[in-house]
Amino acid sequence: MIPMSNLEIFHKLLKNYYSKKSKDCITSGEMSIIDNNCEYLGVPKILLMENAGKSVAEEVSRYLKENCKNRIYVFCGLGNNGGDGFVAVRHLTDYCSFEDTLTVVLLGKEEFIKTYEAGENFKILKNISQLDFRLTIKEAPYVEGVLEVIDEIENNREDNVIIIDALLGTGIRGDLREPFKTLVDNLNRLRYKENIKIISVDVETKGLRGNLVVTFHRNKMENDISKTVVKKIGIPTIAHYIVGWGDMYALSKRDPNSHKGENGKVLIVGGSKRYFGAPILSALASSKIVDLTTVVSVKHTIEALRDYPHLISYEVEGDYLSRDCVDEVMKLSKDYHVVILGSGLGINEDTKEFVNEYLNEIGDKKVVIDADAIKVIDYRDFEFKENFIFTPHRREFEYMGINIEDPTSLEDVKSTILLKGRYDIIFNNERIKINKTGNVGMTVGGTGDVLCGIVGAFFSKNDGFISACCGAYINGYAGDMLLSEKGYYYTPMDLIECIPKVLSMFR
């Protein structure tokens, strides 16, 4: 029988996940990853903004009244939520009658509009407003300007007033600043008036309570489902499941006030008389990212480490790691955020005992389990805990006893599995993603050791799933960069040297 490709495995698993998850609410953080990965797939943000703004205009048009003057006030922030508001206004000019008015109130100044796509849509409105007398644009960077507009709204009691809240969406951070706060307080007061309806774009701006929310793609956690309509805006389903630069932006950032050791400490446990170099590759990759990388191994590896003075080493007795060193390694592990276990360990009986006993005692310490360690685990009664990441290739995966054809065999798998291949699949019992960076030049020995070094380094400050996704993405991206520079003729050391260049693209 021809073995399934990773892409086929992905599709088999995806069916199961999709039926469980597709209707769920998502968080703002998840939405931002999807949004950026959409761009990675080639869907420009300005296109999504167009669809978002258009769908807002369609919903707002239902509130327009015939035989009466409609006044629409669109309060816009400086980010893309405001941008959706600008697009909605353009579409609304064609829904409104010539008796109606449209007033755009920008809470800031044009030069401070944050994004390209919002800026372009603002320019279009300015062009329109020169010729279309129904459209007025006001800049209100301060409380006074906001209160003037509120007064104007209150003084028009006969007209049908629709207020659009395009102030802040998923990009809000912390408590509302002025003049947003004053505006929201006043809008909350106005909402009790019979002739006024308040419609929010994507999410209600913090503290605001309006009549309707028009949200995009999926409902957001913060929205009250009973007054929310969800509109599709052209985000392809696969944007949920692809690893892209959205995931990279979601990795935790270095705190500028942090001290030595706070940006990650990784312990590499691997190596043997025969395969002494593998853990060094993992360690070199990890040391590009975290503050401290230590290798615990047999003397053959430790000797080879002398050329790398920035790596700390710890030698154990013998030619292989064996049961006798469990206590020693366990003690050492306590001082590290993450342990990477497996590269070059070998698979003899002694090492088997070491791996199983060590993992039995490890508790909730984060561990990346790679290479030989995957082969020697006794999977009978093994608990796939959340604090483990496995990084198998196809043959190693077969040892793990997970049946792709039977979704129930995944039910208890809380560990993240990064199944390496032409396409890497990252999954656990809750989530799945596919990574497509990388190329056939990476079949050279040692690239897997580099990968688990990167994954382990990310794991020190992030959860397992995102660490595995970003590790696969960065390792493959470095390979793709090398492909264009050197063709297929590069080594794991070249990959390691490429890591800083790739990472600095996603700061």
Ligand X SMILES: NC(=O)C1=CN([C@@H]2O[C@H](COP(=O)(O)OP(=O)(O)OC[C@H]3O[C@@H](n4cnc5c(N)ncnc54)[C@H](O)[C@@H]3O)[C@@H](O)[C@H]2O)[C@@H](O)CC1
Binding residues for AMP: 448
Nearest to 460 by CA among 280, 297, 293: 293
**Contact at 8 Å (CB) between 101 and 132?**
no
Q: For residue 177, state whether it binds ligand X (rule: CB under 6 A).
A: yes
Q: Which of the residues 396 through 455 are near ligand X (CB under 6 A)?
A: none
3-state SS of 148-161? HHHHHHHCCCCCEE
Which of 185, 383 has the CB closer to K ion? 185
Determine if residue 271 is left, alpha or beta; phi over 0 gives left, psi from -120 to 50 gives alpha, anything else beta: left
> Which strand (E) or helix (H) includes residue 313?
strand 312-315
Shortest CB 96 distance to ligand X, Å: 22
Q: How far apart are CA 471 and CA 452, in angstroms?
A: 8
Amino acid identity for residue 218 in this structure:
R
Nearest to 470 by CA among 452, 449, 488, 455: 455
| Stretch of 72-80, 246-254, 256-264, 344-352 lying at the interface with ligand X (CB under 6 A) | 72-80
Which of 37, 103, 160, 200 forms a contact with K ion (CB under 5 A)? 200
Determine if residue 453 is left, alpha or beta; phi over 0 gives left, psi from -120 to 50 gives alpha, anything else beta: alpha
Q: For residue 31, state whether it binds ligand X (rule: CB under 6 A).
A: yes
The token pair that represents 38 in the structure block: 């959409």
Shortest CB 75 distance to K ion, Å: 9
Q: For residue 331, state whether it binds ligand X (rule: CB under 6 A).
A: no
Nearest to 269 by CA among 188, 173, 365, 202: 365
| Stretch of 80-88, 146-154, 284-292, 294-302 lying at the interface with ligand X (CB under 6 A) | 80-88
Q: For residue 35, state whether it binds ligand X (rule: CB under 6 A).
A: yes
Q: Which does 200 bind (CB under 5 to 8 A by kind): K ion, ligand X, none?
A: K ion
* Residues annotated in a binding site: 278, 344, 393, 448-449
Q: For residue 174, state whether it binds ligand X (rule: CB under 6 A).
A: yes
Shortest CB 260 distance to ligand X, Å: 32
The DSSP code for 253 is P
**Contact at 8 Å (CB) between 60 and 199?**
yes
* Residues annotated in a binding site for (6S)-NADPHX: 278, 344, 393, 449
Which of 141, 171, 318, 421 forms a contact with ligand X (CB under 6 A)? 171
Which of 203, 296 has the CB closer to K ion? 203
Q: For residue 202, state whether it binds ligand X (rule: CB under 6 A).
A: yes
Q: For residue 204, state whether it binds ligand X (rule: CB under 6 A).
A: no
The DSSP code for 133 is T
Nearest to 69 by CA among 37, 101, 117, 109: 101
Which residues of this protein are in contact with ligand X, per CB under 6 A? 31, 35, 48-49, 52, 77-84, 114-115, 168-177, 180, 201-202, 216, 233, 235
Which residues of this protein are in contact with K ion, per CB under 5 A? 165, 200-201, 205
